[in-house]
A = this chain, B = another copy of it.
Amino acid sequence: MVIPGSGELSPADRGVLYGEGVFETLHLRPDGPWLLNAHLDRLARSAALLELPLPPRAELTALAARAAQARTGGEGALRLIVTPATFYATVGAVPATARRQRREGIKLITADLGLTARPPWSLATAKTISYAENLAATRWAKDQGADDVLWLRADGHALEAPTASLIWLTGDTLCTVPPQQTGILPGTTAAHLLSRAPELGLRPEERMITAADLPATDAIWLASSLRGLAEARTLDGAARAASPWSPRLLALLGFDGS
């Protein structure tokens, strides 16, 4: 379902012609869009990187509220889209795949991005609608018999997944990759999870990890808005035991895991 904000899509919109638009995907809950402010903050950062004027924040908040009302029942998926000519929202069900991956975990493979460092004009820290290559990477992972792919830098350090952040547990330290230093998208779900980790006695930390060191960690997850957390139950084909932390962390994030 499409919830209009303002303006109209035009075939001459640079959002359509060049993918020059930004978006956010949010988890819709009975009490409203989850982590709305953090997502609106990131939308603003993405728009600034693209030199795209953003509607006033109050209008985006009002749009999200209207969209939330359009959803009845349990959880839902809210998407906010801003192009030069228009902004609007879409509301739908959380894809069955996302719910299954949250519940059962995923087969994760690693793959070299072939990248030593992002060039200075990179938009990788922005969530733009020039998103085709991200989705192509996920399709490629499925072609390999996996559910998702973890991107590695040319030196073997883990970066992010096409639509999710990497989280791992080492002892009592819950880790994610530092976005500033690596030029990856700052994960909204990941940042929130780490900020709340101390409530479960875990120490949050941003650090780097190589693919070679990942197998020895206590647990590996991908974090994203709709999946919440999806635990890697295989990594490059090697099975991993289910972590007792998965249900605890999902509960901390307010996902029922069902």
Q: List residues of chain A with CB under 8 Å of any chain B CB.
A: 2, 9-12, 15-21, 23, 49-51, 79, 81, 83, 86, 88, 90, 111-123, 128-137, 139-140, 151, 154
On whether the beta carbons of A140 and B115 are closer than 8 Å, the reply is no
On whether the beta carbons of B2 and A129 are closer than 8 Å, the reply is no
**Residue among A23, A81, A136, A151 with most chain B CB within 10 A:** A136
Nearest residue (CB) in B for A3 is B11
A50-B136, A133-B123 known; A17+B23 contact, CB < 8 A: yes
On whether the beta carbons of A19 and B130 are closer than 8 Å, the reply is yes
User: Which residue of B16, B116, B118 contacts A116 across the interface (Cβ within 8 Å)?
Assistant: B116
The count of identical subunits is 2
Closest Cβ of chain B to A227, distance in Å, is: 17
On whether the beta carbons of B117 and A139 are closer than 8 Å, the reply is no
On whether the beta carbons of A16 and B114 are closer than 8 Å, the reply is no
How many Å lie between the Cα of A112 and that of B114 in the bound state?
Answer: 13
On whether the beta carbons of B121 and A139 are closer than 8 Å, the reply is yes
Give me the 3 closest cross-chain CB pairs, A-B, nearest first. Answer: A19-B19, A121-B140, A130-B130
Nearest residue (CB) in B for A83 is B16
On whether the beta carbons of B132 and A20 are closer than 8 Å, the reply is yes
Closest Cβ of chain B to A70, distance in Å, is: 14
When distances are taken between beta carbons in the complex, the residues of chain B under 8 Å from A81 are 11, 16-17
**Residue among A15, A23, A88, A120 with most chain B CB within 10 A:** A120
When distances are taken between beta carbons in the complex, the residues of chain B under 8 Å from A19 are 19, 128-132
When distances are taken between beta carbons in the complex, the residues of chain B under 8 Å from A123 are 132-133, 136
When distances are taken between beta carbons in the complex, the residues of chain B under 8 Å from A116 are 114-116, 154
How many Å lie between the Cα of A154 and that of B19 in the bound state?
Answer: 26
How many Å lie between the Cα of A114 and that of B116 in the bound state?
Answer: 5
Nearest residue (CB) in B for A152 is B119
When distances are taken between beta carbons in the complex, the residues of chain B under 8 Å from A122 are 133, 136
How many Å lie between the Cα of A2 and that of B134 in the bound state?
Answer: 29
A88-B11, A123-B136 known; A131+B18 contact, CB < 8 A: yes
How many Å lie between the Cα of A210 and that of B130 in the bound state?
Answer: 30
